[in-house]
Amino acid sequence: MKNILYAFILAFLFSCNFNEKKTIEKQFPKLEANRYNVAFLIMDGTFNTELTAPFDIFQHTIFRENIKAMNVFTVANTNTPITSFEGMRILPDYNYLKDQLPKIDILVVPSAEHHLDSDLEDKAMIDFVKKVDKNALYVTSHCDGAFVLAKAGLLDNSVSTTFPSDIDAMRTMFPKLDIRKELLFVHDGKYITSAGGAKSFEAALYLCEYLYGKDVAKSLAGGLVIDWNLETVPCLVVKK
């Protein structure tokens, strides 16, 4: 009888423990003071390289002395992991639909699978980009991320570029824009648009050289075994 009673008690305790709902408090990244806050806008279908290339460059600024380094973090429209085009699962740091976001100094828009179609119909995402743009110091895109900037109206008065084989599509979709070919990136005002792919490193290094100077940019490039010389990069910097 005792064995039956013990078995009943154990089963009851196990059942209670099994059905207990555990809540996990969301952990936000620690953002250091006196740094640029750099947000990467991610979503399902984001391409790895356009995300990781500038993320690598900007994150490594924390290892350089006597500069205003960068806090890097990701933002999305969900608290659950997004899946990149190549299958990488990434848990966003912030949900821009629900969380209180820090001030964003630099917004990075990597390319995603549907930036030429359904993503451009995502009003909440486009409105978020517009909102951030109002106070951001710089807004950058890589590859087809330029389509998002164009849809938000940010490139109406700026020269831009995008992934080489999608330039004609962008010109058709946004016929009033000045979109240039055969350039790895364009810097016009506070907007930097790049061809994307592995050349996303160049656009990110350019912004670092613009902010910190040639020596810091060369140091960042060297840390990632990149041969960096801005003078040899096909680019356009519009003076305003």
The verdict on residue 198 lying in a domain is yes
pLDDT at 10: 45
Total residues belonging to the chain = 240
Where are the strands (E) in 51-184, listed by range? 70-76, 82-83, 89-90, 94-95, 106-109, 138-142, 159-160, 178-179
Go through 30-45 and write b for each residue having 16 or more CB atoms within 10 A of its CB, e for each that does not.
Answer: eeeeebbbbbbbbbbb
pLDDT at 186: 98
The verdict on residue 6 lying in a domain is no
Range of the domain at 141: 36-238
The verdict on residue 30 lying in a domain is no
Which sign, positive or negative, has the C-alpha torsion 160, 224, 90, 58?
negative
Positions of the chain with pLDDT under 50: 1, 4-5, 7-13, 15-16, 18-21
The verdict on residue 15 lying in a domain is no
Number of domains within the chain? 1
Report the candidate in 179, 127, 135, 189 with the shortest Cα–Cα distance to residue 153: 127
The DSSP H or E segment spanning 191 is strand 191-194
pLDDT at 7: 46
- Which amino acid is present at 227? D
What is the strand order of the sheet 138-142 is part of?
94-95, 70-76, 36-41, 106-109, 138-142, 191-194, 185-188, 235-238
The verdict on residue 25 lying in a domain is no
pLDDT at 27: 87
The verdict on residue 110 lying in a domain is yes
pLDDT at 55: 98
The verdict on residue 225 lying in a domain is yes
Identify the CATH number of the domain in which residue 152 sits. Answer: 3.40.50.880
The verdict on residue 4 lying in a domain is no
